[in-house]
Amino acid sequence: MPRPTAGPSRRPTGTPSRARARWLVGPAAVALFGAGVVGCGGTDPFAPVASFTTSLDSFVVYPVTGSPAAAPTAVSLYTRSAVRPALLSGLVLNFDLAFDVDATGRVRLLPPKQLVASTATSLVTGAQVITNTTFDALLRAPNTGYQYDSATVVTPGQLVVIQTQGASTASVACSSTSPMYAKLVVDSVVPSTQIPGTKAIYFRARIDPNCGFRSLDTGVPTN
């Protein structure tokens, strides 16, 4: 099956691995481990370490409703690309979030469960609107409060945080217990000059491809 056509942004140079803890064996080892952690001021020497920097990317997508078949109407945050939603072989989806526009011009962010049966894929994506800060000021994603089953409706300028396992062409990138995070803001919804008769949705996203890390700051996350 061909890979989805990349959008305006480039793909990460590597593939983040899932966070894995290493364990000592036996009661004595556990006791020694506990003493070592206390002795070092509570720092866990076996904690996962992030390998990839967060990225700031700009995208243009089109509404699911009314757009021609070739138009990208969704985004794969893991591959940092605008794509046309597709169910690939092996019950794999190629997108984290799809987009639509309602009759009032508001943008509807659609998780996978809005487009495919919940049994058709293991990918889980949730979204939530953040109202008490700005896109640039939010440096860490919350770990609760996400909508997984219904659309999240926003107007341009509203901040949204995404929790997802990260759709790729082979499988999900992260486990459901150590998902990846991103923040996005829709900048504008305007008549498309490329596809007459439909809208173009312009948005920005800061994406953290490191599984289990909630940092939405620049650089390589530390937490």
- Residue 44 is predicted with a pLDDT of 62
pLDDT for residue 99 is more than 80: yes
Residue 84 pLDDT grade (very low, low, confident, very high; cuts 50, 70, 90):
very high
What average pLDDT does range 168-177 have in this prediction? 88
The contacts of residue 192 (CB under 8 Å, 6+ apart) are 62, 198, 199, 200
| Helix, strand, coil percent content, the chain, rounded in steps of 5 | 10, 30, 60
pLDDT at 29: 37
Q: How far apart are CA 1 and CA 168, in angstroms?
A: 13
